[in-house]
Amino acid sequence: MSEVAVVGFAQSPVGVREDATTSGVEMLVPTIAEAFGACGLTKSDIGFWCSGSSDYLAGRAFSFVSAVDAIGAVPPTMESHVEMDGAWALYEAWVKLLTGDADIALAYGFGKSSGAELRRVMALQLDPYLVAPLWPDSVSVAALQARLGLEAGRWTEKDMAEVAARSRAAAASNPAAQVSGQVAAADLLARPYVAEPLRAHDCAPVGDGAAVVIIASAARARELCERPAWITGFAHRTDSGSLGARDLLAVPSAAGAWSAAGGGSGAWVDVAELHAPFTHQEILLREAMGLGDGVTVSPSGGALCGNPMFAAGLARIGEAARAVMSGRAGRALGHATSGPALQQNLVCVMSGSGEA
Amino acid sequence: MTQPATAPLRAPLDIEFDYTRSLGPVLSQFMAALAERRILGARGADGRVHAPPFEYDPVTAEPPGDLLPVGPEGAVLSWSWMPEPLADQPLAVPFAWALIRLDGADTALLHAVDAGSAAAMRTGLRVRPRWAAARTGSIRDIACFEPSDGAADDDPDTGSAEVNPGMTITPVRLHYMHTASPGESFYLRGLAGHRLLGQRDGVPTREEVELSESGTVTTFCIVNVGYPGQKVTPPYVAAQILLDGADIAFGHLVLGCDASEVRMGMRVRAVWGDEGVSHFEPNGEADAPYESYERFM
């Protein structure tokens, strides 16, 4: 039986925010307030806070310390940070609750992607000796992976466009989405390449945003939420940092995380919110994790319709939790990725019954 | 500025820094060989040859044995097209990024290919390195790869190599457009008019408060350590200053007296410079009693 549940989720609208700073405070304050409002909590109820963000994206040192302004540094509180997507901050918060050190924890992620030259900044996550000095940008690296799959017959450019079209149609019901609407895959395919073989619709838009997820121990979860999303499995894995030495068409870290979180033969979910910033990566993830046609993938529109750096993975878990809390799903998984070409992957499985 | 007077302020920020990295035993050999126009790989316990070499075998975690020459030619495994190169990339004209399996290797190297056009690129294309003229022991000693016609590479080396053994330097230049929040913009516009402005609590803050130019040192430190770009000569004082009428202290310099004279409770006033408050200096008033600022420490 699960010991910890997601009881709250909120995210800011995703887009280019002229009024928001790289500290994230302007995006975080209303988002945290919304999450608190939904479950009747205040700051003093939170026993542990954990955030995910990046100084390279913010363009200043210790930028996450400024973000603490959004939660208040006085009175002193128990707080931590990961230089990764907020999904990994949630993982740390989950471990904290399992230790019994806190009953309620809040994880947040934020990124002002539009303030930096995102494609260049992302080169700094690559091997600092052999790769980063060449400044390969994030879109070009993903494009190398996309072509491998195209030429191996794993997918077609039409398959990729159909992922984009389906995602945008789904995002029409997501008020946080940056792009949404009905579009035909054929029309998308008529548009030019931005990094052949990728077109604009194959790449997540550059947007700013924040996401907040609140988790609680079993003793508190039921009083805070009518139908908590019980965490039945939570795991993350990483593949080699050497792009040229790993098989870019296999994602063992995604398969491994899913397996460790309860996936595998006989496992089922109704909804899978996948953090796939590029269309072909959704196809890769579905295959790696063995998600069949019975699984509704990214009903929020996914990262292709809003990908605020360091918040989008946490938002996938939040959206999956929301599907469970609303009763739309009996069991759902939220996935987050980090690193180039799906190098690192995290899976959080949640259910309404708490049964694994 | 063409922005309305209430719009958030924005300004570019350019950051430059060099990463000076020690290379360790394996990459030192690899980089030194690049400076001599040679490429080295490492054979793993499973027999596969990695190029670039691994530092620890991905299967056994052991360091590699003797490195072995690979390439210099190879074949493209995958590629993408860069129609508008970004700053600091290997080429300023449109080029291909490619995963290149060098002859004799089982893994791939990521680099640029100067192919002229996307139409000239294909998976399987044979490529060879184009060496940089001035080599330093860096992955950029390979300027890029170029399509190979299969002829032997007898291009004479007219370049130079100057290697700092065991080290590599990577310059980093990043460009940002920083925006200030509405509250920060209000404060900064006040400074431009030589006024110190605050805002009263609120979410978001709305009520504006004009503050005194005088305040109290709540705590301070004496800076004795120099750093590049430092504008004030050590020793000098960095203090937290609680402006009269404010409930939060903020950091600034206290100059205009010997550093040893600065103390908690000292009364100071703002001195205006070209960019807002230059520093604070003693204003001659009697020290504030501890009880008046202890809540704001």
pLDDT (tens digit, 9 = 90+) per residue, A322-343?
A: 999 999 999 999 999 999 999 9
Spatial separation of the C-alpha atoms in residues A136 and B268, rounded to whole Å? 51
For B89, the closest of A134, A148, A151 (CB atoms) is A134
Specify the pLDDT at position B1.
Answer: 41
Closest CA in chain B for residue A137: B86
pLDDT, position B164: 87
Q: At what angle do helices A279-289 and A252-260 cross, to 10 degrees?
A: 50
Environment class of A191 (CB within 10 Å of its CB; exposed 0-12, middle 13-18, buried 19+) = exposed
CB of B83 less than 8 A from some CB of A: yes
Half-sphere exposure of A300 (CA within 13 A, CB side): 34
Among the partner-chain residues A19, A130, A248, the one whose CB lies closest to the CB of B181 is: A19
Give yes or no for B1 touching A (CB within 8 A): no
Q: What is the 3-state secondary structure (H, E, C) of B143-191?
A: EEEEECCCCCCCCCCCCEECCCCCEEEEEEEEEEEEECCHHHHHHHHHH
Confidence of residue A157 (pLDDT cuts 50, 70, 90): very high
pLDDT tens column, A8-67: 999 999 999 888 888 899 999 999 999 999 999 999 999 999 999 999 999 988 888 989
pLDDT of amino acid B4: 57
Query: Is A134 close to B111, i.e. CB distance below 8 A?
Result: yes
**Domains defined for chain A, CATH in brackets:** 4-118+206-228 (3.40.47.10), 123-204+230-351 (3.40.47.10)
B43 contacts chain A (CB < 8 A)? no
pLDDT score, position B152: 62
Q: What is the pLDDT of residue A43?
A: 94
Q: Are A142 and A193 in contact (CB under 8 A)?
A: no
Q: How far is A149 from chain B (nearest CA, A)?
A: 10
Per-residue pLDDT of chain B (297 residues; tens, 9 = 90+): 444 567 889 999 999 999 999 999 999 999 999 999 999 999 999 999 999 999 999 999 999 999 999 999 999 999 999 999 999 999 999 999 999 999 999 999 999 999 999 999 999 999 999 999 999 999 999 999 999 987 766 677 777 878 888 988 899 999 999 999 888 898 999 999 999 999 988 777 778 899 999 999 999 999 999 888 888 999 999 999 999 999 999 999 999 999 999 999 999 999 999 889 999 999 999 999 999 999 988
Residue B80 is nearest to which of A114, A134, A144, comparing CB atoms?
A144
Give the Cα separation of B202 and B208 in Å (integer): 11
Is the minimum CB–CB distance between B160 and chain A shorter than 8 Å? no
Mutation choice for B interface testing from A113, A130, A139 by most B CBs within 10 A: A130
Q: Where are the domains of chain B?
A: 21-174, 213-296
Q: B107–A245: do the CB atoms touch at under 8 Å?
A: yes
B139 touches chain A (CB under 8 A): yes
Using one digit for the tens of pLDDT, what is the confidence trace for A164-207?
999 999 999 999 999 999 999 999 999 999 999 999 999 999 99
Best A25, A36, A196 member to test B by mutation, with max B CBs in 10 Å, is A196
Whether residue A70 is predicted with pLDDT greater than 60 in this model: the reply is yes
A19, A129, A141 ranked by CB distance to B168: nearest: A129
Q: Which residue of A has its CA nearest to B21?
A: A129
Do residue B182 and residue A56 have CB atoms under 8 angstroms apart?
A: no
Cis before B72 (ω within 30): yes
- Judge whether B85 and B94 are in contact, CB under 8 Å: yes
What separation in angstroms does the CA of B250 have from each of B218, B238, B242, B269, B285?
A: 10, 10, 7, 13, 20
Mean residue pLDDT across chain A: 95
Q: Is the pLDDT of residue A74 over 90?
A: no
Distance from the Cα of A23 to chain B's closest Cα (Å) equals 10
pLDDT of residue A209: 97
CB contact under 8 A, B175 and A117: yes
Flag whether residue B109 sits within 8 Å of chain A, measured between CB atoms. Answer: yes
**Does the beta-carbon distance from A244 to B107 stay under 8 Å?**
yes
Q: Is the bond into B58 cis (omega within 30 degrees of 0)?
A: no
Nearest CA in chain B to A32: B203
pLDDT value at position B274? 86
Residues in B 167-206 with any Cβ partner in A closer than 8 A: 168, 170, 172, 174-182, 184, 203-204
Q: State whether A243 and B108 contact (CB < 8 Å).
A: yes
Q: What's the pLDDT tens digit per position in A279-297?
A: 999 999 999 999 998 999 9
> Cβ A148–B174 below 8 Å, yes or no?
no
Identify which has the larger pLDDT, B81 or A1: B81
A68-82, A104-118, B279-293: least confidently modelled range: A68-82
Q: Does B85 touch chain A (CB under 8 A)?
A: no
CA distance A83 to A64: 9
- Fold of domain B213-296: OB fold (Dihydrolipoamide Acetyltransferase, E2P) (2.40.50)
* pTM (predicted TM-score): 0.93
- Its ipTM equals 0.94
